[in-house]
Amino acid sequence: MEKKAIKKVHEAIGSANLLTSVEDRTCYSYDASGQIFFPDAVALPESTEQVAALLSLAETYRFPVIPRGAGSGTTGGALPVHGGLIIAFSRMQRILEIDADNMIAVVEPGVVTGELQTALKEYGLMYPPDPASLKFCSLGGNAGECAGGPSAVKYGVTRDYIIGLEVVLPGGEIMQTGVRTEKGVVGYDLTRLFIGSEGTLGIFTKLILRLLPLAEAKATFLLSFSSLVQATDLVAKILTAGLLPCTLEYMDQTAVQIVRDRLSFSLPEKTAALLLVEFDGSTDEVQQQERRFTEFVQRQGDYLLQQAKDDKETQELWLARRSIGPACLNLRPHKIAEDVVVPRSRISELVQLTEQLSQELDLIILTFGHAGDGNIHVNIMVDKQNRQEYNNGLQAKERLFQCVLSMSGTLSGEHGVGITKSPFLAQELDQTALAVMQRVKDLFDPYNILNPGKIFPASQDNEQTGTS
């Protein structure tokens, strides 16, 4: 950014809302992708009007603008790969409205997902999407990436709960999309075009969310298996049997080890895989699901089924599950974290491939995640200083992606493309669709101001040019 542009930004939002020191910029130079790119400045706007003023300046002075939630994204969506101005939403985190009668909430993009969920409990309501980072990630970031979470198997993902948006477009115009009602089909569905667009088409300044009644009760089960395939095979059977858990999470042996260390109760010695299965609903319904599920498991084979006996054990299980992502960095200093999706019937093939890659390329590869919807988190652990290991890691990623696409899968279920997957985009997408997406980008953002270098394959492989 030119000095003059920074000066104008300063005039527009005031020094209290602008960070330019190296120390401050360092804090905004990385995200959960483990890569580092420095912004020229960081704006902390307090209003839609300030965001609009920033985007107007960006058009005049042609500097990149990168919207940032909590930096919990794993594909580098919030990184300023070409420098420029980060707009962070830590000062736009108000819950503007909870309309309990109509089960609608209106929030600013900086609201932390878990904090909204806590606030809604008092009203007997819930907002289902529950990314593992829910204690710190923001709803604006969730919307930008179309985040999912364990509950997606029953409740769907972010796009299913955002029904309207306030968006600032490149140039600074403010637009309202969508509705405040359960249904609405007037005009093109701009709301869902923006959801998952990774901050490349516009910047959200308000989100209208639909809510559900809070589930009265929950039952949490842990199933232990002596082989991985036993676990993944059971997943499709659970769902086609008409059981509808709100969680159907799977963990492989390495993930089991991480979880084991964090539990106060013991797991069988020879556990090679776990399924975490949860049912919610009214007290009656949950009791019935408990009974049906227990009977179902008994019919399937001799698996050890444990039920969390109280809230404390349930909390413990979830804390353990959510810690897998961060904790695996104890195994190796870096990870290549992918969130591929395959048709449920092919999960077993996919995890077998990862075991094979692990052996062939001498890598630690953890797999865990949302087996219920075929969305498996594959964490390839590497030390980037070790060139051989890192290259093997990249090779494993490439072979994983090829395999996923050959199974009619997709490269991302909930993390988005960002920079880490953009070199592979053309392998998944139809050539015409990719060209159309590029034209949509050009239509909204002709000067490529918003989050440049994201989603679309650039000339370079960004992953390898990251400075971390």
Show contacts with a copy of itself in window 289-308 (CB under 8 A). Answer: 292
Give residue for tokens 């939630």. 69
Beta bridge partners of 177: 165
Residue 191 CB, nearest approach to a copy of itself (Å): 9
Site for a copy of itself in 189-218 (CB under 8 A): 189-190, 192-193, 195-197, 201, 213-214, 216
Residues 85, 103, 137, 419: which binds a copy of itself (CB under 8 A)?
103
Distances (CA, A) of 429 to 123, 286, 436: 42, 41, 11
Residue 32 CB, nearest approach to a copy of itself (Å): 16
Contact 180, 104 (CB under 8 A): yes
Q: Which is nearer to a copy of itself, 181 or 227 (CB)?
A: 181
86: left (phi over 0), alpha (psi -120 to 50) or beta: beta
Residue 175 interacting with a copy of itself (CB under 8 A): yes
Q: How many residues interact with a copy of itself (rule CB under 8 A)? A: 89
Q: Which is nearer to a copy of itself, 139 or 381 (CB)?
A: 139
Q: Which is nearer to a copy of itself, 387 or 439 (CB)?
A: 439
Contact 156, 173 (CB under 8 A): no
Considering only the stretches 5-13, 113-121, 265-273, 421-429, report the one whose residues sit in contact with a copy of itself under the rule CB under 8 A: 421-429
Q: Which is nearer to a copy of itself, 406 or 468 (CB)?
A: 406
Considering only the stretches 64-72, 183-191, 306-314, 458-466, report the one whose residues sit in contact with a copy of itself under the rule CB under 8 A: 183-191
Residues 236, 274, 308, 381: which binds a copy of itself (CB under 8 A)?
236
Residue 174 interacting with a copy of itself (CB under 8 A): yes
Residue 278 CB, nearest approach to a copy of itself (Å): 17
Q: Which is nearer to a copy of itself, 208 or 274 (CB)?
A: 208
Token readout for 396 is: 């494993």
Site for a copy of itself in 116-145 (CB under 8 A): 124, 145
Residue 75 to residue 115: CA distance in whole angstroms: 24
Q: Which is nearer to a copy of itself, 173 or 360 (CB)?
A: 173
Q: Which is nearer to a copy of itself, 4 or 299 (CB)?
A: 299
Considering only the stretches 263-271, 299-307, 328-336, 339-347, report the one whose residues sit in contact with a copy of itself under the rule CB under 8 A: 339-347
Residue 102 interacting with a copy of itself (CB under 8 A): yes
Considering only the stretches 182-190, 223-231, 328-336, 460-468, report the one whose residues sit in contact with a copy of itself under the rule CB under 8 A: 182-190
Sheet containing strand 174-178, edge to edge, reads 95-99, 104-107, 203-210, 162-168, 174-178
CA dihedral 397, 398, 401, 405 (to 10 degrees): -170
Q: Which is nearer to a copy of itself, 24 or 99 (CB)?
A: 99
Residue 23 interacting with a copy of itself (CB under 8 A): no
Residue 337 interacting with a copy of itself (CB under 8 A): no
Residue 155 CB, nearest approach to a copy of itself (Å): 11
Residue 344 CB, nearest approach to a copy of itself (Å): 6
Q: Which is nearer to a copy of itself, 305 or 429 (CB)?
A: 429
Q: Which is nearer to a copy of itself, 111 or 371 (CB)?
A: 371
Q: Which is nearer to a copy of itself, 5 or 167 (CB)?
A: 167
CA dihedral 376, 459, 439, 417 (to 10 degrees): 20
Fill in the per-residue mask, 252 to 281: x = in contact with a copy of itself (CB under 8 A), - = not in contact.
Answer: ------------------------------
Cβ-based neighbours of 64, under 8 Å, separated by 6 or more: 58, 80, 82, 83, 84, 85, 449, 450, 451, 452
Q: Which is nearer to a copy of itself, 117 or 358 (CB)?
A: 117
Residue 87 CB, nearest approach to a copy of itself (Å): 20
Residue 350 interacting with a copy of itself (CB under 8 A): no
Cβ-based neighbours of 308, under 8 Å, separated by 6 or more: 219, 220, 221, 222, 314, 316, 317
Site for a copy of itself in 394-413 (CB under 8 A): 408-413
